[in-house]
Every structure is written in C-alpha cells, then in structure tokens.
C-alpha cells in the first residue's frame, strides 16, 4: 500500500509539468507548418504564420494553460476554490486530442496521404496527448458550488452580454467557413470550449444568472439574432440556410406544444406546414396559381393558418380518442394522405387546385405595402439581399410563436397538458378536460405551422408535394427530442443543429442519415433528457441523482424569492 501511495503521489507531482509541456508543444507545433499542401484547410503550410485552424489549437492550449494555473499556480488562490480545473482539463484534453487527430485525417484525405503532414502537425498532436495524460493524473478536489456565487447585478448583465456576443461572432465565423473539414474542426473547437465551461461549473453559474436576469437574456438573444445578417457580408448562401433554420424552428416550436407539453406523438405534422404553404401559393399572383383571388398577405397568413388549424381539428377529433403507438400510426397516415391528396388535386383525378406533382412554381416575391422582399437593401453600408429580408420577417414570426408557447406553458392550459402527458387517467380523474385540451394542442400547433408555411411558400418561390414527406416530420420530432422536450431554448438548438449540419456537411451526403442516427443513439445513451432539458425531465431520467434533486430544489426556492 505504501508503494502504491508513493506512485500516486509521484504521478500527481509529474502531472502539472507534463501538462505544461503538452501546452508548450501544442503552441510550438501550431507555429510550424502542419501541411505540405497549402491549398487545403485555409493554408496550414507556412512556418511562423498560423492559419485559422492553428489559431484555434493555440486558443485551446492557452485555455489549458489557464486551467493548469488554476490547479497549481498563481490563479489557484483566487479561483481554485470555485473552478473545477481538473475536470475542465480532462474534457479539454479529450477534445483537443480529437481535434488534432481529425486535422491529421483531414490533411490525409484532402492531399492523399499522411506523407503530406508536416512535423508541426505531429508535434501539436503529441502535445495534445500529453495534456490528456496529465489531466488523468491530476487528483479531483472538493470545491465550493460555483452556482451559488453572486456578482453585482451589472457584472452579471455584462457576463450575459459577453456570452451573447461570443455566440454571435462564433456563429458568424463558423458559417463563413466554406471548407467542410474546416467547419467540422471549428465545431470541435466550439465543443471543447462548451465542455470546459460545463465541467468547471461556469455554465451552471450562468444558468442561475440567466434565471435572475431572464428578460435581459431574452433581449440579448433577440439582439444577437437581429444583428446576425450584418455579420454575413451579404452572403446569400448563409442567409438562405438561416431562413430555413428559422422556418424549421418555428414549425418545431408548434410541434413542441403537441409533443413536448401534451405528450401526443404526431408523425404527420409536416402536413400542417404544407397546408399553409399551399394556401399561400394558390392565392399568390403566380402564373400557375389556381385561385383568382389575391388578398393582402396578412389575410393570406390567417387563411393559411386557419386552414391548417381546421385540418388539425378534423384529424384530431376522431384520432385523439386513441393514444400511444396507435396515435402515431394514425398521424403518420394523415401525413401521407395529405401528400397524396396534393398529388391528385391536378384537374384530372380531382379539382384543379395544386397542379398535382408539378406543384405551383413561380411564386412571386412577397410584398407588404411598398416593401418588396426580393429587393436588395443597404443598411449601414452592408447589403441585405432577399434572404435577409425574409430572415427578419421569420424572426418576427418566431418571436410570436415563442410568445404563444411560453404563455400557454405558464397558464392553466399548459399545466393541464403536462398533467395529461404525465398520466392521462389521473388527470381525467382530477377534472382535467382531457379530450378538449388534446384537441386544443393539435389546433394551436397546426395554426402555428400554417403561419410558417405561408412565408415558406414565398421564400422557396415554389411548392410541391415532395417538400412535405414523412422524413421532414421525423426531423421535426428529432429536433424536439434532441434539444429537449417542452423547452424553448432546447427546441431552437435542436432545430439549428438538424438544419444547419446537413447543409454545411454535404460532402458526407451518403452518410448524413447514418451520422444523424448515431447522434440520436449517443443522445439516448448519455443525455436522454435532451441538450437543454427542463427540470422535470431531468428528474424523470435521473431519479437516482440526489444531488440533481437538491440543486433543482434550490433553484426553485431561488426563483420563488
């Protein structure tokens, strides 16, 4: 036992200098050439002139240096009792090693072999491995709960502002990367930063700060979203992706009412989005429109949303008397019935409304008053194209959808939906109008999806049945499960991930569904409650975690104050 204790002590003594050596090697290697081929990954072939990916490695190394100084150095006294530097170093070591391995793979794939990797790449990889080994040798310490730390109000608001600014510039930088491998490596870097912040306890503290300054956080989040187009330098490609993300997010938020709050599994939800889109297309001034009436767009939005809500009422009345798997099968059938109906309303098999499989192309740009959404506008010297115009409109729609969701969630209706989701029989025994609230969930969710569909038709300039297949409903449901059922931030995050990654990772086109499946499997294994889970669902999936229960109880007490 004495020998084991001596070995452990020696290991702890060696860990800190080993970590410093790892940090030094990562930085030194990043100032050297990583690749023989200067035409890949933003040119990593120049000595003493780091490329963008090398700069990211240097930032991660410097973050490791800070954590080492917190663990054993001049920063230990002011920060060591609060920050769990060891866990942060372990997370950073794993992700930094993964980063460097992916760099070597990327260089090998892009330039035909590891022979094109220059010494700098290997030196930085060895440094990352040393930092990982060092982090595993450091002992864990009992620390104070950082979430209980309080700063002056202005300092906490400043922290929120800095966090939102980092999100804005991080998103702008990541979307500005045109090389797919560079985008993947940037995601790994972002993952490293987030993982470290979680492991050292900063994100838990930020969660408490966000609860204390919820209105400031909401305002800051919408400010970030509003200024996002001004960071894209007029890029239509990136703004096109952003508009698709907002449409997807607004639709997913409507489905979140049905699935996340009421607990009703709907596999045909995309039909409501499609009904709104078809109403807008048929009432447009397109040469292929089938209805000779062109009301103002506000009226079109109400008609499209009303049509979707009516379909929700029609499908909900008979089918909501079943539940579970039977409800999923029925809604899946409804989604396919809608798509096939759009095929048959071609003037031959049924009335001429949708032009059948040809759909309704040539939908003109949206006009509200004298403002044409297809025109380019210049604001503060920055050109904003058609996609930026639609982006701002969709941002307003998303704000409205979030407002509806949050108000319903905090109302008696929302509590009734949650009761139904938890135990339908018990809710009915307590006097909850189960059937009426189920119908209401379907109608409200369909109404919000119909609103998004009317804008989608003009933004896409065409509508066809192939846009509203079952796979789209599956992705909407996956966004809710991935992000966190019943939450706002979770669904927005899930929608962004599932819509953004396929667009930026097109070189994985043959394997995108495989990667998507692996992502869901990993989520179900390591975080079944979702990326941003509600307190209730955290406790549902981690009933044995007494520390989590105590932490959530303290949060509730703090909110009550």
Burial of 77 (0-12, 13-18, 19+ CB in 10 A): exposed
Tokens of 245: 């993300």
Please, which pLDDT band fits residue 124 given cuts at 50, 70 and 90?
very high
Residue 273 pLDDT > 50: yes
For 479-533, what is each residue's pLDDT tens digit?
888 888 888 888 888 888 888 887 777 766 667 677 777 877 877 777 777 777 7
Give the highest mean pLDDT range of 245-254, 419-428, 466-475, 547-556: 245-254
What own/partner pairs with CB < 8 Å and gap ≥ 24 does 398-404 have? 398/246, 398/249, 398/250, 398/253, 399/222, 400/451, 401/250, 401/253, 401/254, 401/448, 401/451, 401/452, 402/253, 402/488, 404/444, 404/448
Residue 396 pLDDT > 50: yes
Q: Tokens 């692996």 identify what position?
A: 518
Residue 173 pLDDT > 90: no
Residue 331 pLDDT > 50: yes
* Residue whose C-alpha is closest to residue 462's, from 359, 388, 375: 359
pLDDT at position 535, please? Answer: 65
Residue 559 pLDDT > 60: no
Q: Which residues pair with 372 in a beta bridge?
A: 367
Q: Which range is least confidently modeled, 131-135, 314-318, 398-402?
A: 314-318
For 438-465, what is each residue's pLDDT tens digit?
899 999 999 999 999 999 999 999 999 9
Question: What does residue 536 show for φ and ψ, rounded to 5 degrees?
Answer: -60, -45
Q: Residue 210: how many CA atoms within 13 Å on its side-chain side?
A: 15
Give the residue range(s) of CATH 1.10.3470 domains in the chain.
Answer: 232-511
pLDDT at position 493, please? Answer: 87
> What fold characterizes domain 232-511?
ABC transporter involved in vitamin B12 uptake, BtuC (1.10.3470)
* Residue whose C-alpha is closest to residue 222's, from 166, 168, 154, 175: 168
Residue 8 pLDDT > 60: no
For 333-348, what is each residue's pLDDT tens digit?
889 999 999 999 888 8
Question: What does residue 231 show for φ and ψ, rounded to 5 degrees?
Answer: -95, 0
Please, which pLDDT band fits residue 125 given cuts at 50, 70 and 90?
very high
Contacts of 80 (CB under 8 A, 6+ apart): 70, 71, 143
Q: Which range is least confidently modeled, 16-20, 77-81, 541-545?
A: 541-545
Higher-scoring residue by pLDDT: 384, 444: 444
């Amino acid at each position: 036992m004495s020998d084991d204790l001596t070995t452990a002590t020696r290991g702890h003594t060696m860990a800190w200098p080993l970590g410093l050596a790892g940090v030094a090697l990562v930085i030194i290697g990043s100032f050297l050439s990583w690749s023989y081929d200067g035409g890949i990954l933003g040119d990593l072939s120049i000595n003493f002139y780091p490329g963008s990916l090398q700069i990211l490695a240097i930032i991660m190394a410097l973050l490791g240096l800070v954590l080492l100084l917190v663990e054993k150095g001049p920063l230990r006294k002011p920060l060591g009792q609060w920050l769990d530097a060891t866990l942060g170093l372990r997370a950073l070591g794993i992700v930094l090693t993964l980063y460097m391995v992916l760099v070597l793979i990327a260089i090998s794939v892009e330039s035909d072999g590891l022979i094109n990797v220059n010494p700098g790449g290997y030196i930085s990889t060895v440094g990352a491995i040393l930092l990982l080994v060092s982090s595993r040798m450091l002992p864990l310490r009992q620390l104070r709960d950082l979430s209980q730390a309080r700063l002056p109000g202005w300092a906490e608001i400043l922290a929120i502002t800095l966090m939102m600014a980092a999100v804005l510039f991080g998103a702008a930088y990541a979307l500005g990367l045109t090389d797919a491998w560079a985008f993947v490596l940037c995601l790994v870097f972002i993952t490293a930063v987030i993982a470290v912040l979680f492991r050292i306890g900063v994100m838990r503290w930020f969660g408490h700060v966000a609860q204390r300054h919820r209105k400031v956080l909401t305002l800051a989040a919408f400010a970030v979203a509003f200024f996002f187009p001004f960071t894209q330098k007029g890029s239509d490609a990136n703004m096109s992706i952003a508009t698709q993300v907002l449409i997807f997010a607004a639709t997913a938020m409507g489905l979140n009412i049905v699935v996340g709050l009421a607990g009703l599994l709907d596999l045909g939800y995309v039909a409501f989005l499609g009904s709104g889109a078809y109403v807008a297309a048929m009432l447009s001034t397109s040469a292929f429109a089938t209805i000779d009436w062109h009301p103002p767009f506000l009226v079109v939005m109400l008609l499209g949303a009303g049509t979707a809500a009516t379909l929700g009422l029609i499908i909900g009345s008979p089918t909501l008397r079943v539940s579970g798997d039977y409800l999923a099968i029925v809604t899946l059938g409804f989604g396919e019935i809608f798509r096939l109906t759009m095929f048959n309303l071609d003037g031959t098999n049924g009335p001429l409304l949708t032009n059948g499989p040809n759909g309704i192309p040539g939908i003109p740009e949206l006009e509200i008053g004298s403002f044409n959404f297809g025109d380019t506008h210049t604001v503060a010297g920055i050109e904003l194209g058609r996609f930026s115009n639609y982006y701002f409109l969709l941002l307003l729609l998303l704000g409205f959808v979030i407002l509806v969701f949050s108000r319903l969630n905090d109302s008696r209706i929302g509590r009734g939906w949650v009761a139904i989701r938890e135990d339908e029989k018990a809710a009915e025994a307590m006097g909850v109008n189960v059937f009426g609230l189920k119908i209401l969930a379907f109608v409200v969710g369909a109404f919000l999806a119909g609103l998004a569909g009317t804008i989608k038709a003009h933004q896409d300039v065409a509508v066809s049945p192939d846009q509203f297949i079952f796979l789209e409903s599956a992705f909407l449901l996956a966004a809710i499960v991935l992000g966190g059922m019943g939450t706002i931030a979770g669904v927005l995050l899930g929608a962004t991930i599932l819509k953004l990654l396929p667009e930026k990772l097109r070189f994985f086109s043959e394997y995108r569904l495989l990667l998507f499946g692996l992502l869901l499997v990993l989520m179900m294994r390591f975080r079944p409650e979702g990326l941003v889970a509600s307190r209730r669902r955290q406790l549902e999936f981690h009933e044995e975690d007494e520390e989590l229960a105590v932490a959530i109880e303290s949060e509730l007490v703090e909110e009550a104050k």
